[in-house]
Each structure stands twice: as structure tokens, then as C-alpha cells.
Chain A
């Protein structure tokens, strides 16, 4: 009997090694990574959980079967399936677009290694090991942020430092809360644990003032590499955060839990909006758009209700598509200018119309405007916020508008026809994007708009995910 939990961890790891040896042939490495992510992502959803399945010969695969590695249990629970499928399917979309947009070759093997580590982090019992696995994944993901043949990016170095600063807090919080469980009268333990927990996740989520790595990884590094961190690694961080709250309900019962998260979320939304509108680098704009979206998700979590958790999952489900599209669009334009500043990108939209379209639709989605997939969650968020804290409703709206101003400014520059030295307009250049790139981008754009128009396709998944968590105040 083959244990499903073991396959979920070892298959991407093994295929990551294969992809590494195929790295010289980018298409093969990419197809290997895409196929693995799709097979695991779809397999974990469609295979029956309770009964074994024949996988050839006499071998049988039991998805729900746990496995022990070095004395630690890897346990796949029914509620984890959608979360893991989300990570793998997001990665498949990312790998597909990265294949067409000339990103770092290491993205494919390292991305698969990242998926293996993050899956192990979500499955391992006890949870203390999850923090260590997530940190190892963070360190390894620095490799995908680096441009080939260029100086080390500030984003990668900052991300390395900030993500590791979170480790002591996560591990010590676990120890403090274990002690608090035996001595509930010692409330100082809970206060310290809450403070450490908040500080650690502030580092991991890039909460202001620990946010300097967020815009840097998408601007200084490879845009799609930065988005790999911001969607796949960050998605796992959200699951880890919710698992912490579920395992230690005292954290969400703490009187400062709701107000603290609401304040942090509001600050992220306001500061992110102000900085997004002032950006002259499109990579940084993507980073600040992601920061605003994370701030909105923290505001949703501050509601400490089932609705709030459902909104968090809705944000997690739709955010990758918008960010991946935006980063793909920027990568397409970046490939022609090797710079993400507005001055360097002037007129780069003409030879890359599909990249520009991806940037616009991704921007619409991440700003939470109608038609984009992000509208589904931001609209629901605004409606929930209106009844929870009406005063704060205006800020996410304004921040979304700020992101759209940045996107609009970017598009106007991308389509500004550059002038020759003697002042005449340069002739139009023909699109240099091949049909396969155009088809893949068109498919991703259609998927993004489809989710925006038919939210009922994704809403029940978020509700189902939220049902696994019971930590909130009923």
C-alpha cells in the first residue's frame, strides 16, 4: 500500500530533481514541472480519500494513509485536500506562464522542491516542524528571485533576512502555548505568545513596517519568481497561520486579536495605496498591490467569524491568478527593456500586446475591480466590512483605485509611441509574441474574467475550506 501523504511530498521532490537535470532544455523542464503540478493537484482532488486505488500491478495508493518519516507523521486529512490542490494548481498556472515568458530556468526545479516542502509543512504532525519546513522553503525560494547573470537582487537578500527573523517567534510561541495549556492561570504566557505570534506572521506576510522585501522581490528580482513567493509560499503561510489559530484557540480569544488585525490590515491598505499610486516602477506596483490585498485579507480575518475566514480563503483562491497575470505581463515587457521603470518601458506594449493585456486584466483583478477575478472577493469583503466596521470600508476602495491609477499609467506608457532622435514618431513594430504564448495568455485572461463573472464557481470552494476551521467566535 502506497501512502498518499508520502506521494504528495516525494513525487514533486523527485520530479524537481528530474527537472533540474533537464534545465538545459527549458521546454522539457517546464513541461515536467507543469505536468507534475497538474497530476498532483488534480489527483489529490479526484482520487477517493477513504479507499485505495490501483496504480498498476499489485500496488495500491491510499490517499488518506499517513506515513512516518524519521518518527514524524505526515497525515493528509480530508480538509487539507483543497488547500494542497490550490498550491499545486496555482503552481501549474505559474509554471505555464513562466515557460512562455522567459523567466529563470531554476524556477521549475526549485518550484517543485518548494511544493514538496510546503506540502510536508501542511501535513506534518506536530505543527512545530511546519515552521521549520516553511523557513527552509523560504531560503530555497531565494534562488528563483535571482536574474540569470545579474547582481544579487536586494529583494532576495531582504526576503531571506525577514523570513528567517520569523522563526524564533514561531517556535517559541508553540512552546509557550504548550505550557499555557497546562497552566492557564499564567496569562503572561499567553500575552507573550500572542505578541510573538503577531510579530512572526508580520515578518512572513510582509506587514508594514516589515514590508520592504515585498515590492523589492517583484521589482529587483524576476517578476514571476517574486510572484512564486507571493502566491505559493505565501499561500502556505496563510494555511499555517489558520492552523495556528485552530490549534491554539486562545490566540483568537485574546481581546486584542480583532482590533490588532483590523489596525494592521488598515495600515497596510492605506500605506500600500499611497505608495502604489506614486510608483514609477511596475514591479513595485505589483508588490504594493499584493500588500493591499493581504491587508484586506487581514481585515477579513479580524472579523473573527466564519464569514471572515471564508473571505480569507476566497482571497487566497483568486489572488494568484491576478498576480501571475500581472507579473507575466511585466515579464513580457521587461524582456524587451530589462528594466521595469516607466521610462524604460515606453512603447514596449506595441510589440507585446498579449503581455500588456495580461498586465491590465491582472491589475483589474488584484485591484478588485469588476471583470477581474479579484472583484469576487473584494466586493464580498466590502459588503461584510460595511456591517462590521463601516468607517473602514472606504479605504480598500480607495486603495483599489490607487492600484488602477498605477496600472493605467503603466498602460499609457507602454502604448506611448517612442520618438526618434529627430523628434518623429517611430513606426509601429509588429507583435513578436508567438501563437502559443498568445493562446496561453488568452486562456489565463478568459479564466480570470470567467471567475469574475461567475463567482459561484469558486465561492463554494472557499466556504468548504472555511468549514474545516472552528476557532472563530460563533
Chain B
């Protein structure tokens, strides 16, 4: 059975522009979507693309460990949202049904977020051309700017804990991609992993509290 490192080595042909495009697309979906299943899947894919890019700046094993931390975070978010969905469904059922509205392909909020994500992506692309980052290749610079900018956008667009948490994690992933090239120390990698994991745990706690409040009719 192949090891994780060998699996990553087999898909290393993606670790250039395809991975950068993947990072932009996944971060864009996170900005636009509020569907938790899609978001968890997208975040899992985003971690995969980031790990592919990381293999070009640090050792494969370290990149794989970072990937495992990222996927554990996805698992934490999945479990939280899975448990939250039941009381939310019950609370929605208690509410009086609103008059039927015409179903739209893309809501006004989602269209606004999509437009904002496109504008921010263009800004990130321009910044990557004008202000190249030291010690990392041009395509990774683009991925770093994209993740940081779209993470900031996600933080700015919402005050819901899960959206802000995913925004912060996206922002930190972008910075991590750059910083591992400057400081490849294992201790720094471990502390950055611990930081990301604590963000996921706190976000899950706040989401649980939010759902409990909604279920008791205190919110919304």
C-alpha cells in the first residue's frame, strides 16, 4: 500500500499552476457558498492544493503533516456542522412558513460575494505581479496573495463564527505557504498547526453556542 508521501509524489505534476487555480477556485467557493457540506468539501480540497504547493518549498513529510492537520480541521468542522444541522432543522420546522418565493439560482448575497471575490482575486493577481514575495516562486506568490486576500474578504463579509473561522483559516494557510519558505523550522510549523487547530476548536465552540441559542429561540 502506498504511503501518503508516495501518493503526494504521484500527483506532484499538479503542484504548479493547476494547484494555484485550485486554491483560487476553492477560496472563491468558500466566499460565495453558505452550504456547509459544500464548504467542508471545498476546504478539504483547498488543503490538498496547499499541500501540493507546500511540497515545492518544504520536505514532503512536513507538507504531509500540515495536510493531516488541515484535514483534521475539516473533520472538526464537519462534525460540528453535522451535529448543528439537526437542531437547526427542528428550529426551522417550528417557525411559521413564509410565503412561497421564487427560487433563484444565485441569491443577491451570493451574487454580491461572487463579484467581491472576483474583484479581490484580480487585486491579488495584480499585487502578485507588482510586489513579489521573497524566497518563493511566482506561482506560489500568487497563491499566497489569493488565499490571504480571499480569507480577509471572508472575514470581512460576515460576523457568523463559522464564516469568520474559515476566513481566518484560509488567511493563515496563505501566510503559512509563504512563511515556511522563510522559516522552515519544525517548531514553528508545529506552533502554526496548533494555532490553526485552536482556531478550528474555538470556531466550533462558537458555532455550537450559536446553534444552541437558535434552538432556544434566542437568536435569528
Contact = CB atoms under 8 A, between A and B. Distances in A.
Interface of A: 70-72, 128-129, 132-133, 135-136, 139-140, 142-143, 146, 149-152, 154, 156-158, 160-161, 164-165, 167-168, 171-172, 175
B183 A152 contact: no
Contacts of A152: 161, 206-207, 209-210, 213
Given A129-B191, A139-B199, A157-B164, A146 B209 contact: yes
B187 A71 contact: yes
Nearest to A179: B134
B195 interface: yes
Given A70-B187, A129-B191, A132-B188, A164 B182 contact: no
Interface in B200-220: 202-203, 205-207, 209-210, 212-214, 216, 218-219
B80 to A, nearest CB: 13
Contact of A149 (B168, B175, B213): B213
A296 B88 CA distance: 47
B202 A150 contact: no
Q: Which of B183, B188, B194, B202 has the most CB of A within 10 A?
A: B202
Contacts of A135: 195
B151 to A, nearest CB: 10
A140 B164 CA distance: 15
The DSSP consensus for interface residues of chain A is helix
B36 interface: no
Given A142-B206, A150-B218, A136 B198 contact: yes
Nearest to A69: B187
Interface string B137-149: 0000000000010
B187 A72 contact: yes
A75 to B, nearest CB: 16
A150 B183 contact: no
A221 to B, nearest CB: 11
A156 B202 CA distance: 10
A154 B206 CA distance: 11
A150 B161 CA distance: 13
B171 interface: yes
Interface residues of B, number: 38
A127 B218 CA distance: 44
B54 interface: no
Q: Which of A70, A143, A160, A167 has the most CB of B within 10 A?
A: A160
Contacts of B205: 143, 146
Contacts of A157: 159-161, 164, 206
B167 interface: yes
Given A70-B187, A133-B191, A152-B206, A164 B179 contact: no
A149 B208 CA distance: 10
A167 B161 contact: no
B144 to A, nearest CB: 10
Nearest to B194: A136
A16 to B, nearest CB: 14
Nearest to A72: B187
B172 interface: yes
A128 B159 contact: no
Q: Shortest 3 CB-CB distances between A and B: which pairs?
A: A132-B191, A151-B219, A151-B213
A286 to B, nearest CB: 21
Given A129-B191, A140-B198, A167 B210 contact: no
Contacts of B192: 132
A129 B212 contact: no
A150 B187 contact: no
A160 B168 contact: yes
